[in-house]
């Protein structure tokens, strides 16, 4: 059993789960429902162009907190359909590729983190990874039994990779003297690892991705990589959202950070037991307040925009909101959701063509 290594780790529930590639067409609010004439085609083209590049941004916040003990769903009793394990692929080749882009290392005051070993360009593919295993997000049988089954199917090497992941364990926090290496506690630990690190991997499923799981969190403009699940290929991909200089940490985001610093920190503390000191959370108070205002305003506009499909706002207002979110996001340096935004704008525009 590898030594326990507590780190600020992966996250929990993104209710907005913009995960799969096809999200933008599945979203009910995107169904064309109006047909007024309007010169929105220009923005459609612009939106689609931006959408292609920023599509990776749609994966923002796919991480899901799965299989909570109190959320067992009787409708979904079966175990899991586990895609191919990474051991089917050349692990050495993947490790060599990783090593040419990043390394995992101890960072002062932060625990382990992922650092670029060379300059990385925006849009570059950082990680492409199959899950070690996948489970339904809601189950009726014991989650630890399901995890145990899945672990038994893994190679020893992959089991090590799983148990080497860090985790937040409320149980251990309550009982600090619990020996986590006691065989009876191994499954509790496995569950904690799964809950801390699982990421949405398709509809109603969550998977474990050991490479991606090494990425630490940052808020708003401070994260520089994004990930998304590719249903057709059965892989999770991580892309650079921004240029990253050699030696800089690669950071993703565990949650929707369009909220105030206090709210973000409270959430991260509660879910992951860490106090966020990312570049945005570390802004001087006045700048932090301005950043909070931009983020909350973006959040409100997103909510308003989401009412378009239910006829509460017309196409003109919807596109106006998209423009405004785009502008405010530009000021904040928060671009990761532009792909989704652009795709949404394209739907609105299409609905108002005729």
Binding site for Zn ion (CB under 5 A): 219, 276, 278, 281
Cβ proximity to Zn ion, 245 vs 275, nearer residue: 275
Cβ proximity to Zn ion, 80 vs 253, nearer residue: 253
Distance, in Å, from the CA atom of 177 to the CA atom of 137, rounded to the nearest integer, reads 31
CB of 311 to Zn ion, least distance (A): 37
CB of 221 to Zn ion, least distance (A): 10
Cβ proximity to Zn ion, 230 vs 242, nearer residue: 242
CB of 223 to Zn ion, least distance (A): 9
The DSSP string of 46-108 is: HHHHHHHHHGGGGGTT-B-----TT---TT--S---PPPPGGGS-HHHHHHHHHTTEEEEEET
CB of 168 to Zn ion, least distance (A): 17
Q: How far apart are the first and last CA of the chain?
A: 64
Cβ proximity to Zn ion, 197 vs 257, nearer residue: 257
CB of 265 to Zn ion, least distance (A): 7
Region of 111 on the Ramachandran plot (φ > 0 left; ψ -120 to 50 alpha; else beta):
left
Nearest of 15, 8, 9, 349 to residue 200 by alpha carbon: 15
Cβ proximity to Zn ion, 208 vs 222, nearer residue: 222
Region of 9 on the Ramachandran plot (φ > 0 left; ψ -120 to 50 alpha; else beta):
beta
């Amino acid at each position: 059993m590898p030594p326990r290594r507590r780190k600020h780790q992966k996250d929990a529930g993104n209710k907005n789960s913009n995960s799969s590639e096809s999200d933008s067409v599945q979203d009910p609010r995107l169904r064309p429902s109006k047909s007024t004439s309007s010169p929105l085609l220009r923005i459609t083209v612009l939106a689609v162009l931006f959408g292609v590049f920023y599509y990776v941004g749609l994966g923002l916040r796919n991480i899901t907190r799965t299989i909570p003990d109190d959320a067992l769903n009787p409708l979904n009793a079966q175990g899991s359909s586990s895609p191919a394990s990474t051991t089917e692929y050349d692990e050495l080749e993947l490790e060599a590729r990783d090593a040419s882009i990043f390394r995992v290392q101890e960072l002062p005051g932060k625990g382990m983190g992922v650092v670029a070993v060379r300059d990385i360009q925006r849009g570059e593919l950082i990680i492409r990874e199959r899950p070690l295993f996948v489970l339904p997000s809601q189950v009726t049988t014991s989650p630890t039994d399901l995890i145990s089954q899945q672990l038994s199917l893994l190679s020893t090497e992959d089991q090590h990779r799983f148990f080497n992941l860090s985790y937040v364990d409320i149980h251990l926090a309550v009982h600090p003297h619990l020996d986590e290496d006691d065989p009876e506690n191994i499954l509790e630990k496995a569950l904690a690892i799964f809950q801390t690190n699982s990421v949405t991997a398709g509809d109603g499923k969550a998977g474990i991705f050991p490479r991606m799981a090494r990425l630490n969190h940052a808020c708003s403009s401070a994260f520089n990589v994004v990930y998304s699940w590719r249903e057709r290929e059965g892989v999770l991909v991580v892309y650079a959202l921004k240029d990253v200089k050699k030696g800089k940490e690669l950071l993703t985001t565990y949650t929707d950070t369009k909220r105030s610093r206090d709210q973000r920190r409270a959430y991260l503390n509660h879910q992951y037991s860490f106090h966020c000191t990312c570049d945005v959370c570390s802004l001087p108070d006045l700048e932090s307040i301005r950043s909070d205002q931009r983020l909350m305003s973006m959040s409100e506009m997103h909510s308003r925009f989401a009412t378009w499909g239910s006829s509460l706002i017309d196409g003109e207002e919807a596109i106006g909101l998209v423009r405004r979110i785009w502008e405010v996001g530009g000021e904040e340096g928060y671009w990761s959701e532009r792909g989704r935004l652009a795709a949404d704008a394209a739907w609105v525009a299409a609905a108002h063509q005729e």
